[in-house]
Amino acid sequence: MIRMRRTRPTAVVATTLVTVGLLTGCAEELPTPKAEAPVAEAVVTQAQEREILDKVAGVVEKVTKQSQADDLAPRLAGPALDIRTTQLKVAAARKDSEPLTDLSMQMQQVILPSDETWPRSSYAITVQPKDLTTPVLMAFDQASARDQYKLWGWVRLLPGVTMPQFAEAELGSAAVPPDDASLKTTPTDAIKQYASVLTVDKDSKYADNFADDDLRQFFRDYGKLQVDAINKEECKGAFEVAYEPTKDPVKAVRTADGGALVMAAMISKETITAKEEGCEIGPPTKTTQALWGDADVTNVVEVNYQDMVAMYVPPKESEDQISLVGYEHVPSSVSNG
Amino acid sequence: MVQRFLAILLIIAGLGGIGYGIATATVLRESDTVVATATPSGDGTLVVTEPGVLGLVDDQVTVRATVPEGQKVTLALGSEVDVLGWVGDDPYDSVTGLSTWETLSVAPGTPPEAEQTGEESGEQPGEESADAGKPAKGPDPSGSDMWLSEVSGETTVSMRWTEEPGRVVLLAAGVGDGAEAPTLELTWPRPASTPYLWPGVLGGGFALILGVFMAIGARRGKKKATTRTSSTVRTRRTESELPRRDVFGVDGDQTEAQADGPGFPPAQPGPPAGPGSRPAGGAFPPAGEPAESGTAVFLPAARLRPGRGTPEPVAPEPEPASAWGPPAPFGGAGGAAPITPPPTPEPAPEPAAAPAASVRGLRRSRRAQQGPVAAPAGPAPYGGAPEQAPAAPAAQPAPAAQAAAAPSGRPMTRREMRLREQAQRRAATGAMPAVPASAPEPEPEPEEQQTPSSRAAAWRQTWGVTGSDDGGNR
């Protein structure tokens, strides 16, 4: 009987094992979705950005060859569309391509968006163009989820400028709202103030907020050149320039130090006047001459420009001044006042 | 009977287990792919998978979207944020997971800003419902910069996707006028593992073996029972001989069986077969004995043992005679009965056709009586061993002794077993009848001769192999 007692548990164990094996074989659990936790990263990958750049560059290149400005719309928007259209017009008038900014998109750096909402903006800095002009900082914009990324604006960087640091491209950089208060001035105000500074230079009450820059120096030199030329004829020359922001939204992206890179479109008008009676002046530059057409010559030349500026706005607590990093200054029309 | 039933049950279960294990790897083997379908429920034209659904079963997924003949359909993969952003306020179906292995669960998707649009802009819902009222014009997501991958086509399109880090989701859209949400089919490869093959086969095999042994045991038990009845008489008759019977009384059984039975001729062929089967069922009585009679003998012996065992360890050595007093009653139990008879038949079988083992055992049993020193200790503790010990020499008991002897306080070591063996062999030569006393200790030979050959000899004896060793001794 002992043997019986011994075998029974064994049998029970064996039977149980077999039964359990049989049963478990029938019920394999359905997997449930295991989604990765959302992580902070750029909403546009670098690979995607590359494709976007290629698509935009393709459109730009095609349009540049064919001078069909209408075809720009699918991939250009806002100030960029306006400015490029103007450039094409001027280039057509001048019958050469010098007015056309080189927009080939070989990038040395991309600044990708981290915001999941729209509009989204990415930025990119090109390598040095073949014509040895300075690199171009471009801004791309996706207005809504069902829109494509479009070139929204660009500036030529100032020679020797140091760009602020941005977050890693993988992480993406946050957009800064136009009224962001963490900066020395809000992006919107920064543009307004800078327009004032460009217009009246040192006489602006905001002059202290801005470091001197190449653009302001350019107007000083250029104005002096024009005035001197007129004065040579003793015509009492005068030169003035007036800037104002456009209604296009200001774009800003956070830099690593908490500041922001601010880009905005402006328009400007420079007026050259020969105040002496009887003096007449014509368009000063090759481009304005091409745009001048057969208008009568008067004592006034007004040149309208489309502008784009990019500036670094330091964080509020910083002692730095707002500094220009790049601009684009494209004559769009000229008139005799 | 119960044992037999259990044995059959075990055999069946074992065969079943093996069969099932093999079946899971063959006919029942799962498909190499999981194909699940999502049928859209809502009136939108968009279907979106939730994060993680694409990688639900495997990293590699093949997506197929089908719309009614002639319509256009687009599949796009993008990050969850991008896809839901693109979908925006449009109604859509959300694929949330598997509801069965063939079906994907679908739920109406919730627009992310449903609450806002619902309350803040009262007009918007109106507009939307107006939009919904007219035949749906499915927006086309194709061409967006945001998609990681996309494909468009008519009626049916499919794409493959290898899961990447991130919350990637699928957007399937019926496109154009009167579009409907496409039917999604996700196909994953699945490593068709056969997790039950080896457990089934091994477990089944184990149960089978167990069952087979139980069956054999049951059979032996039966035989034994018959043997017993015939031997009982003799037990009585030979009661006077009881004292002679020692632990190895089994031999008596054996002998008796042989004597009893010309009817047991198969008994002889048994021994060789024994060794083979024994290792398999360690717990079972050594099979050194003839297959039929042997097994039959052991079982009852095992049953007996408890009764007999108790007296043995206690008093066996000093007073063999008195110690054997108790066994007598066992006759009633049936087990003891066969033991006594041996003496009677002894002379007869020995010279006759009795197998070597039994002869040896017989002698030993006598000897053991004279010098019970070593004999009782080892066998007593474990089942069936006592009887076999002599018949199926030393080594077999030895392993068992190591494990089981402990309780008796005098474990029968391998060495002791060997020594005893030697002693018995010597006794068998007949040179010195009194050897037993000195046998255990003064025989260091075997110990020292831990040479391969001596081991081999021990092994041979253990497993009942009649080699030159035995022959020589005899």
C-alpha dihedral sign at B414, B420, B423, B424: negative
Portion 3-32 of B in contact with A at CB < 8 A: 3, 6, 9-10, 13-14, 16-17, 20, 24, 28, 30
When pLDDT is cut at 50, 70 and 90, the band that residue B395 belongs to is very low
Question: Same domain for B183 and B214?
Answer: no
CA separation for the pair A151, A54 (Å, rounded): 12
Residue A303: strand, helix, or coil:
strand
Does the residue B14 lie in any domain?
no
How does residue B39 score in pLDDT terms, banded at 50, 70 and 90? confident
Give the model's pLDDT for residue A22.
Answer: 56
Please, what is the end-to-end C-alpha distance for chain A in angstroms?
A: 125
Count CB-CB contacts under 10 A for residue A257. Answer: 14
Question: Cβ(A332)–Cβ(A304) under 8 Å?
Answer: yes
B203–A18 CB contact, under 8 Å: yes
Are B342 and B432 within one domain?
yes
Structure-model confidence comparison of residues A249 and B125, the more confident one: A249
Please report which confidence band the pLDDT of residue B427 belongs to, taking 50, 70 and 90 as the band edges.
Answer: low
Tell me the pLDDT tens digit for each residue of B207-245: 889 888 888 887 777 776 666 555 444 444 444 444 444
pLDDT at B72 over 60: yes
Which 3 state secondary structure label does DSSP give B206? helix
Query: B409 and B429 in contact (C-beta within 8 Å)?
Result: no
Coil/strand/helix, residue B421: helix
Please report the sign of the dihedral spanned by the C-alpha atoms of residue A126, residue A114, residue A328, residue A159.
negative
Q: What is the mean pLDDT of the segment spanning B350-379?
A: 44
The structure tokens 């065992």 sit at: B309
Nearest chain B Cα distance for residue A20, angstroms: 11
Best probe of the B interface among A1, A3, A28, A149, by most B CBs < 10 A, is: A3
Residues of B in contact with A7 (CB under 8 A): 3, 6, 210, 214
- Whether B142 has its CB under 8 Å from any CB of chain A: the answer is no
Question: Do B270 and B307 have their domain in common?
Answer: yes
More confident residue, B124 or A57: A57
Reported confidence tier of residue B125, pLDDT bands at 50, 70, 90: very low
The answer on pLDDT for B145 being more than 50 is: yes
- What residues form DSSP beta bridges with B33? B189
- Spatial separation of the C-alpha atoms in residues B52 and B58, rounded to whole Å: 10
Distance CA B306, CA B298 (A): 13
Beta-carbon separation of B82 and A17 below 8 A: no
Q: Is the ipTM of this complex over 0.90?
A: no
Q: Angle at which helices A46-66 and A78-94 pack, to 10 degrees? A: 30
Looking at chain B, the whole-number percentage of residues with pLDDT higher than 90 is: 0
Cα dihedral: B339, B378, B290, B364 (round 10): -60
Distance CA(B139)–CA(B91), nearest Å, equals 12
**Contacts for A136-140 with beta carbons within 8 Å, 24 or more apart?**
A136/A101, A136/A102, A136/A103, A136/A326, A137/A163, A137/A263, A137/A310, A137/A325, A137/A326, A138/A103, A138/A105, A139/A80, A139/A251, A139/A263, A140/A52, A140/A56
**Rounded to an integer, what distance in angstroms lies between the CA atom of residue A291 and that of residue B307?**
126
Are the C-beta atoms of residues B184 and B64 closer than 8 Å to each other? yes
* Rounded mean pLDDT, B377-405: 43
CB pairs under 8 A between A and B: 125
Residue B443 located in a structural domain: yes
CA B229 → CA B22, B236, B248, B336, B467, distances in Å? Answer: 46, 12, 21, 11, 35
Query: Final residue of a domain: which of B189, B209, B230?
Result: B189
How far apart (Å, rounded) are the C-alpha atoms in residues B259 and B342?
A: 9
**Locus of tokens 């043992």:** B305
A142: left (phi over 0), alpha (psi -120 to 50) or beta: beta
CB within 8 Å: A3 and B210: no
* B268 plus B174 within the same structural domain: no
Cis peptide before A119 (omega within 30 of 0): yes
User: What distance in Å separates the CA atoms of residue B112 and residue B99, rounded to the nearest whole number?
Assistant: 24
Question: Closest partner residue to B79 among A43, A51, A118, by Cβ?
Answer: A43
The answer to whether position B21 is within a domain reads no
Question: How far away is chain A from the Cα of B341, in angstroms, using its nearest Cα?
Answer: 24
Are residues B145 and A142, on separate chains, in Cβ contact within 8 Å?
A: yes
| pLDDT score recorded for residue A290 | 87
Measured between beta carbons, the chain B residues lying within 8 angstroms of A1 are 303
HEC letters along A132-191:
CCCCEEEEEEECCCCCCCEEEEEEEECCCCCCCCCCCCCCCECECCCCCCCECCCHHHHH
Helix axes A2-26, B2-25, angle to 10 degrees: 30
Regarding whether B205 and B175 lie in a shared domain, the answer is no
**Is B49 contained in some domain?**
yes
Query: Is the CB of B281 inside 8 Å of chain A's CB atoms?
Result: no
Cα A125 from Cα A106, distance rounded (Å): 8
Which residue, B169, B189, B209, sits at the end of a domain? B189
pLDDT at B280: 40
Residues B249, B147, single domain; the answer is: no
Pick the residue with more confidence: B321 or A214? Answer: A214
Domain assignment of residue B53, given as a range: 33-114+127-189
Q: Which of A336, A308, A310 is nearest to A324 (CA)?
A: A310
Distance from CA of A316 to the nearest CA of B (A): 32
Pairwise CB contact (< 8 Å): B86 & A146: yes
DSSP alpha helices (H): ranges in B310-444? 311-314, 320-324, 327-333, 336-339, 356-370, 385-391, 397-404, 414-429, 435-438
Q: Is B422 among the domain residues?
A: yes
Predicted local distance difference test score (pLDDT) of residue A135: 92
Nearest to B294 by CA among B219, B353, B395: B219
Residue B241's Cβ-count burial label (10 Å; 0-12, 13-18, 19+) is buried
B459 touches chain A (CB under 8 A): no
**B7 found inside a domain:** no
Give a yes or no: residue B25 inside a domain: no
Residues B160, B243, single domain; the answer is: no
- Do B211 and B174 share a structural domain? no
* Confidence (pLDDT) at B55: 84
Highest mean pLDDT among B167-176, B231-240, B378-387, B433-442: B167-176
Tokens describing residue B467: 């080699």
The alpha-carbon gap from B144 to the nearest alpha carbon of chain A, in Å, equals 6
**Cβ-contact B325, B307 below 8 angstroms:** no
Question: Is the CB of A11 less than 8 angstroms away from the CB of B200?
Answer: no
Out of B189, B215, B233, a domain closes at: B189
Under the banding of pLDDT at 50, 70 and 90, the label for residue B115 is: very low
| B5 in a structural domain | no
Range A12-28 average pLDDT: 60
For an interface test with A, which of B146, B190, B212 has the most A Cβ atoms less than 10 Å from its Cβ? B146
Helix-helix angle A214-232:A187-200, to 10 degrees:
20
CB of A300 within 8 Å of a chain B CB? The answer is: no
Element (H, E) at B131: helix B123-133
DSSP reduced 3-state for A302: strand
Q: Is the pLDDT of residue A246 over 50?
A: yes
Q: How far is B85 from chain A (nearest CA, A)?
A: 6
Residue in chain A nearest B281 by alpha carbon: A7
In contact, B21 and B201? CB cutoff 8 Å: yes
Give pLDDT tens digits for A99-150.
888 888 899 999 999 988 889 999 999 998 887 888 999 999 999 989 999 9
Residues B387 and B341 in one domain: yes
Q: Are B335 and B361 found together in one domain? A: yes
Residue B302: exposed, middle, or buried by beta-carbon count in 10 A (0-12, 13-18, 19+)? buried
Question: Is the domain of B219 the same as that of B173?
Answer: no
Chain A residues in contact with B167 by the CB 8 A cut-off are 35-36, 38
Interchain CB distance below 8 Å, B203 and A15: no
3-state secondary structure of B29: coil
pLDDT digits (tens, 9 = 90+) for A143-178: 998 999 999 999 999 998 889 999 888 889 999 999
How many domains does chain B contain in total? 2
Two structure tokens written together for A17: 């094992």
Residue A131 is classified by DSSP as T
Same domain, B335 and B380: yes
Averaged pLDDT of chain B: 63
Which range of B3-12, B302-311, B333-342, B450-459 scores highest in mean pLDDT? It is: B3-12
Question: A21–B303: do the CB atoms touch at under 8 Å?
Answer: no
Of B89-103, B243-257, B419-433, which range is least confident? B243-257
